[in-house]
Amino acid sequence: MKPTDLAVEWTEEVQTPGTIAPLIERLLEELGEDPKRDGLVKTPARVEAALRYLTSGYSMKLEEIVNGALFDVRYDEMVIVRDIEFFSLCEHHLLPFFGKVHVAYIPKHKVIGLSKIARIVDMYARRLQVQERMTQQIAETLQQILNPRGVGVICEARHFCMMMRGVEKQHSGAVTSAMLGAFRERQETREEFLSLVGHHSVQF
């Protein structure tokens, strides 16, 4: 599909309101706006399309994501996919948080296609989330499907609920980690992971 085709497809989706659009129209009214004015006429449909995309992780199925991309490989050193960008919605305020995920595992019998790791991150990011849960879900999912010697996940993010409201700290970041198997049991394994992803502070 060409980029122009994608643009047409998105436009058609925006112009087709569904069950969420009327709720957004009512929300605009409650906020004191006029949803019938030129700038807002199509806003409810656009918001619905955006929300359905940003929460599409609920309809993603792990078996369809992996799609058989598990391979028998004699390899027992650390595999790392770093700097996986993500966007998610905080379940407390429905405001975005965004950042990067670094994933590592030590194979026992199988490896997984590298792009599948990024898709697993997307599956959990495109839901109403908290960063701590998302980090743990990614790690536990890889542990489940690969049964490796260990899994390590580090998530670095900035949260609009901190940046736009509340304490209004625009430069603060949150770091969470989940360490399973060898990454939890062996300090040298954790330190190797941290060194290889260059983890010192939150950087975007």
Give catalytic residue positions: 90-93, 131, 159, 161
Sign of CA dihedral 44, 169, 153, 102: positive
H helices within the chain, ranges in order?
3-14, 21-30, 43-54, 62-66, 114-125, 131-146, 160-163, 182-185, 187-196
For 95, 138, 159, 200, the CA distances from 144, given in Å and listed in that order, are 30, 10, 29, 29
- For residue 25, count other CB atoms closer than 10 A to its CB: 20
Task: Give DSSP secondary structure letters for 57-96.
Answer: GGG--HHHHHTT-EEE----S-EEEEEEEEEEEETTT--E
Specify which residues 175 forms β-bridges with: 156
> Cβ distance 121 to 62 under 8 Å?
no
Minimal CA–CA distance to 65: which of 127, 141, 140? Answer: 141
H/E stretch holding 159 reads strand 150-159
